[in-house]
Structure 1
Amino acid sequence: MKEFKKGIRESIKMTLVLAVTVIALILLFRENLIALFNTDKDVIKIGSSYLFIIGPFFLFIGTSFVLSSAMKGAGDSMFALISSIVSLWLGRLPASYMLSKFFGTDGIWMGIPFGWTLGLIVTVIYYKKGHWKTKAIVNHRINE
């Protein structure tokens, strides 16, 4: 179990380093990135706003993916489904709807990281509780 948890920590570190790098590139060059696909000024403006809003939250979604994947690897594949449902249906969709009333299109984009954040919170809580350790694929208990 020690090696498993060390692998999770190292994976999170790598994810965070990669996410910070990608976030920096996206924030610096977001208009250029959008212009690669479409040169319409309105599309570039909307796409740039989208990337500016969601970019910093790649840290959250990346960490959530690492933890969910680790638990799936340990045999608890059902939790990833539950976390995704909570993130989308209880987080992203209601937040996007409500925020769009105040912030227009940007409010829709704001709902996406809201869902990611909720998903990460749920995932971290479940991971810390350790119920996933009892769902091992092989027929033996995982000891700490």
Structure 2
Amino acid sequence: MGAKALKITSFFYVMLGMIYVVRGVLNGLGDSFFALFNGIVEVFGRFTVPFMLTAIPAIGLWGIWWSVGIVWAISGITAWMRYRYFKKRMAIDQSL
């Protein structure tokens, strides 16, 4: 059971790495509020997504492990989108 759970979550380790890197960059750029907000949303997702996935009979308890990866992906993608927005905004501010 543990080996299968590790195989499921290992697909999403790139997203976990992206979360840490992008949040660190945003903190360094001075956008620490978003990093805090993104972390709070990630914690909220860790409570809600497993309930939704385990309610699907075909997924069952494996939905808990899939939810970890899905929440990492959602958090990582939103952090990346914020970074891109922040970077674009900084470029516009510097050109003025």
Q: Which residue of 1 aligns with 2:8?
A: 53
> What is the aligned partner in structure 1 of residue 34 from structure 2?
79
- Cα distance in 2 for partners of 1:114, 1:88 equals 12
Moved >6 Å (runs of 4+): none
Query: 1:60·1:117 contact (CA, 8 Å) conserved in 2?
Result: yes
- Report the residue type matching 1:109 in the other structure: W
Identical residues among aligned pairs (%) = 29
Q: Which segments of 5 or more consecutive residues in structure 2 lack a partner in the other structure? A: none
* Total equivalences in the alignment: 91
Contact 1:67 1:124 in 2 (8 A): yes
Q: Which has the higher contact order (CA 8 A, sep 6+)?
A: 2
When the two chains are superposed, the root-mean-square deviation of aligned CA atoms in Å is 2.3
Give SS of 1:104's match: coil
Larger Rg belongs to:
1
The CA deviation string for residues 71-90 of structure 1, in whole angstroms up to 9 with x for no partner, is 1112222211111122231x
Unaligned runs of 5+ in 1: 1-45, 135-141
* TM-score, normalised with respect to structure 2: 0.79
**1:46-93 deviation per Cα after TM superposition (whole angstroms, max 9, x unaligned):** 21121011101000110121111011112222211111122231x332
